[in-house]
Amino acid sequence: MHEKIHRVVIIGGGFGGLWTTRGLATAPVRITLIDRANHHLFQPLLYQVATAGLSSPDIAAPLRHILRDQRNVEVRLGKVVAIDVTRKSITSKDGTELAYDTLVIATGATHAYFGNDAWAPHAPGLKTLADALHIRQRILSAFESAELAASLVDREEWMHFAIVGGGPTGVELAGMLAEIARHTLRDEFRNIDPRRATVRLIEAGPRVLGGFPESLSAKADAHLRSLGVEVCCGAPVTAIDATGYALAGASVKCRTILWAAGVAASPLGALLPVARDRAGRVLVEPDLTIKNHRDVFVIGDLASLQQDGKPVPGVAPAAKQMGAYVAKLIRARVERPEKFPIANSNVAVSKPFHYADYGNLATIGRMSAVVDLRGFRFSGVFAWLFWLAAHVFFLIGFRNRVAVLLNWATSYWTYQRSARIMLDSENETR
Amino acid sequence: MHEKIHRVVIIGGGFGGLWTTRGLATAPVRITLIDRANHHLFQPLLYQVATAGLSSPDIAAPLRHILRDQRNVEVRLGKVVAIDVTRKSITSKDGTELAYDTLVIATGATHAYFGNDAWAPHAPGLKTLADALHIRQRILSAFESAELAASLVDREEWMHFAIVGGGPTGVELAGMLAEIARHTLRDEFRNIDPRRATVRLIEAGPRVLGGFPESLSAKADAHLRSLGVEVCCGAPVTAIDATGYALAGASVKCRTILWAAGVAASPLGALLPVARDRAGRVLVEPDLTIKNHRDVFVIGDLASLQQDGKPVPGVAPAAKQMGAYVAKLIRARVERPEKFPIANSNVAVSKPFHYADYGNLATIGRMSAVVDLRGFRFSGVFAWLFWLAAHVFFLIGFRNRVAVLLNWATSYWTYQRSARIMLDSENETR
């Protein structure tokens, strides 16, 4: 009997993968969860690590630790390089093959440069902890370089910061950067005045926070300007290199460009024999399986699904809901195979996945946010407190949430950011 | 008048350099503090970062931030590559030259492999934050590799940990590693039992904690054994490579070797025209200046000074006392040049530096320590509480001491270590 237990392989330990795993806690299955990193990352707060407000362990917890009591899971550190849906197996980079009865792919998204991959080294994006630490190092180094600059021209280049992309991440980064320049670094330099740094947020579309209602975009825009951010909408960046960027025909000297503009699906989607959308996301069936392979699920940011004429957005709540849905379906199939057959049929017998959209929120610097709860819209300090409560609530399961709150509380009182540590001037990217 | 203000250049922002700087807060001098890193590091707790108990910002604070209100200081990020005591100037790696009236060198020590530099990549040492994060990654990776090992032989190699050097750092690392294997990782793996890991502490001398009285060494030895550490004294490691080490004629397969054996003075000492001792430390005069150059001070771990027939030890209290002494002397010279002439004379007119030794303490794993206060010796839980109080007291000035205490408190209650974060399996050394 033991050797016939249903094997579930889950690739990716983000919100989608972890919620699938937890949803199967009491199911009669054997789960292998594979991730390239040893931790689950609370991505909504990643910008806080990038801007030195929080340190890595505040928002990351080892997957093994989260799942230590769930005895039907084995966590593996590894990178998947091949998927064979016919033989029903996956292969890791170290050559290990692993057979599955059900496969769940939840490897999310990475940042994309719209075909301009040469921009990547000059405009780092923010998806992993390593990205966040790299951006932190870049920001802190820029002020150090400005302080030591040999000429005024050099100094100006180091004191100009550009953030490309006016979505929630871009808005959060711009707000924090303005706060660091205006308040955090106050009095610390002798040759420069950090308050004179310019922070420019560049959005190709007509307004920041394009996914929000216009009234909230306008609020965010006004608040960013009050923080001293230059908001430039309506024109795309057309070139980026080590010396700066080009915008609306003019080239601007700039040494610190951060990329918050585009996301592309994880390359793992390309290993599947199914169609993908323009961003590389896998087109999934209403039950989140892929066409002709009802034993393969794709969830989270990697999945492309239309609902009520709109795409399901690539946000944490959607990934969690998908994970919970898939766990329930797998369990039903294993426990009641007569009712939920896995056999390859194109007719999905199960109830389709439905994304419940509870709203959208984004924060803008210190004590300000915009919230859109199904049409109920508000902004300002109250929105920020709502944002904080929601995030701290969802940090549950991380043992550091008290420490996170404490760090935050002191940050907000003192304008200080406790994680302003560069490892060594010799090791810039560590 | 302004252009004739006395210029003090201080190299190194550790205990020695920072205490000199602070001691000159109200002195009529212009100070430049140069360090390769942007932070002051509370080195006594570095082993906690290496063993994932604390995160970097818990024990490091930006030098700029610490000194923001001291208006006579400029902090510079940079690496000094040349010192010209005749022209009275130093040169940084980027080519900048800086003139001084008084120079204070406090660049400390690094780890030494007794002429076996080839051992370095296989047995990392612990002096900087980067070192600590590297060791953390090595320890966490070892258990991951053991979990995935293809053979029992492989697994054994990953499950054996060797720490070379039985001084305070070696004892602390061994105790923490044993605790991680026995408690922290409990239930998290499926193919290995972390409690079966072996931790071996290797000391060439006859006993661990050789700097402590014999009775306390014996206590530490017994406590380490009770934690499951194999203590091997009396024979040196004679070879180290990627596959293991050689001890007492036998070669042992081991993938994780940590180096806590030797320290060598910072290479900056070699740039000075004075004699050095066997470990590369600079022989200083009783007033901590160097021979024939009464305007150059060398302090902290880089200084070699005999007192009452014994060398002043390379510990934090000695560095702080030296810093305070030097600051006072510089101030006296500037304010009362008639009484304290800087002119090159071999007769030191000032009162010689005197190290006040208040005692010695080391911790051994969870809730146990040994303390030797001028002959008043104790060990166990009470010693550990004393150790904790002393360290938290000296963390004053770091804004995170509440967070540190909180992390500690939860660690000690739950045996968990919150900073167990590896960045990515692809980026092993980040």
What pLDDT is attached to residue A425? 41
Domain check: are B136 and B233 in the same one?
Answer: yes
For residues B373-401, give the mean pLDDT. Answer: 74
Domain check: are B369 and B233 in the same one?
Answer: yes
- Chain B stretch 177-206, residues whose beta carbon is closer than 8 A to a beta carbon of chain A: 185-191
Distance CA B53, CA B61 (A): 17
pLDDT grade, residue B336 (50/70/90)?
A: confident
Provide the token pair at B143: 């258990």
pTM higher than 0.90: no
In chain A, the residue whose alpha carbon lies closest to the alpha carbon of B404 is A403
Q: Is B123 a domain residue?
A: yes
Distance CA B31, CA B22 (A): 10
Which of A172, A179, A203, A285 is an active site residue? A172
Spell A143-168 as b/e; 16+ CB within 10 A means b.
Answer: bbbbbbbeeeeebbbbbbbbbbbbbb
Least confident span in A352-366, B157-171, B257-271:
A352-366
Q: Is A49 a domain residue?
A: no
Q: What distance in Å separates residue A269's CA from the closest CA in chain B?
A: 20
Return the beta strands (E) in A142-210 as ranges.
160-164, 198-203
What pLDDT is attached to residue A362? 83
Q: Is B21 a domain residue?
A: yes
* Pairs of CB atoms within 8 A across A/B: 163
Domain check: are B243 and B278 in the same one?
Answer: no
CATH number of the domain residue B92 falls in:
3.50.50.60
Q: Is A350 a domain residue?
A: no
Distance CA A40, CA B277 (A): 50
Distance CA B361, CA A121 (A): 47
In chain A, the residue whose alpha carbon lies closest to the alpha carbon of B184 is A65
Task: Please list the ranges in chain A whose pLDDT falls under 70.
Answer: 1-3, 343-350, 395-418, 423-430
Domain check: are A127 and A199 in the same one?
Answer: yes
Domain check: are B327 and B379 in the same one?
Answer: no
Q: Is A223 a domain residue?
A: yes
Boundary of a domain, candidates A335, A357, A378: A335
What pLDDT is attached to residue B43? 87
A133 with B427: Cβ contact below 8 A? no
Distance CA B391, CA A191 (A): 35
- Give which of B58, B80, B88 is closest to B13, Cα–Cα: B80
Provide the token pair at B13: 């922002």
What pLDDT is attached to residue B281? 95
What pLDDT is attached to residue A386? 83
Domain check: are B408 and B272 in the same one?
Answer: no
Please check whether residue A423 is in contact with residue B76, taking contact to mean a CB–CB distance below 8 angstroms.
no
Spell B220-245 as b/e; 16+ CB within 10 A means b.
Answer: bbebbeebbbbbbbeeebeebeeebb
Residue B37, pLDDT > 50, answer: yes
Domain check: are B203 and B221 in the same one?
Answer: yes
Q: Is B348 a domain residue?
A: no
CATH number of the domain residue A138 falls in:
3.50.50.100
Report yes or no: A36 at the B interface, CB cutoff 8 Å. yes
Share of chain B above pLDDT 90, in %: 64
Q: Is A345 a domain residue?
A: no
Q: Pairing state of beta strands B160-164 and B109-112? A: unpaired
B421 with A56: Cβ contact below 8 A? yes
In chain A, the residue whose alpha carbon lies closest to the alpha carbon of B75 is A189
Domain check: are A150 and A19 in the same one?
Answer: no
Q: What distance in Å separates residue B96's CA from the closest CA in chain A?
A: 9
Domain check: are A123 and A83 in the same one?
Answer: no
Domain check: are B203 and B326 in the same one?
Answer: no
Instruction: Find where tokens 């609902």 sit.
Output: A307
Q: Is B42 a domain residue?
A: no
What pLDDT is attached to residue B395? 64
What pLDDT is attached to residue A380? 83
Residue A414 CB neighbour total at 10 angstroms: 12
What pLDDT is attached to residue A112? 87
What range defines the domain where residue B207 resides? 116-261+360-414
Number of structural domains found in chain B: 2
pLDDT grade, residue B343 (50/70/90)?
A: low
In chain A, the residue whose alpha carbon lies closest to the alpha carbon of B405 is A403
- Chain B stretch 87-126, residues whose beta carbon is closer than 8 A to a beta carbon of chain A: 94, 96
Minimum-distance CB partner of B403 among A38, A187, A407: A407
Domain check: are B243 and B159 in the same one?
Answer: yes
**Edge-to-edge strands of the sheet including A97-99?**
A80-84, A89-92, A97-99
pLDDT grade, residue B346 (50/70/90)?
A: very low
Distance CA B423, CA B430 (A): 7
A185 with B64: Cβ contact below 8 A? yes
Q: Is A144 a catalytic residue?
A: no
Report yes or no: A57 at the B interface, CB cutoff 8 Å. yes
Minimum-distance CB partner of B421 among A75, A129, A140: A129
Report yes or no: A128 at the B interface, CB cutoff 8 Å. yes
B189 with A64: Cβ contact below 8 A? yes
Q: How far is CA A17 from CA A5, A11, A62, A63, A354, in A?
A: 20, 7, 14, 11, 18
Domain check: are A127 and A236 in the same one?
Answer: yes
Using a CB-CB distance cutoff of 8 angstroms, which residues of chain B are in contact with residue A400?
Answer: 407, 418
What pLDDT is attached to residue A417? 67
Per-residue DSSP letters for B176-244? HHHHIIIIITTT--SS--GGG-EEEEEESSSSSSTTS-HHHHHHHHHHHHHTTEEEEES--EEEEETTE
Report yes or no: A34 at the B interface, CB cutoff 8 Å. no
Distance CA A90, CA A136 (A): 36
What pLDDT is attached to residue A1? 45
What pLDDT is attached to residue A405? 67
In chain B, the residue whose alpha carbon lies closest to the alpha carbon of A183 is B65
pLDDT in tens, B214-261: 999 999 999 999 999 999 999 999 999 999 999 998 999 999 999 999
Cα–chain center distance at A206: 23
Instruction: Find where tokens 């000194």 sit.
Output: B67
Residue B365, pLDDT > 70, answer: yes
Boundary of a domain, candidates B318, B335, B352: B335
For residues B139-155, give the mean pLDDT. Answer: 93
pLDDT grade, residue B430 (50/70/90)?
A: very low
- Give which of A259, A267, A257, A328 is closest to A297, Cα–Cα: A328
Cα–chain center distance at B313: 13
pLDDT grade, residue B408 (50/70/90)?
A: low
Report yes or no: B65 at the A interface, CB cutoff 8 Å. yes
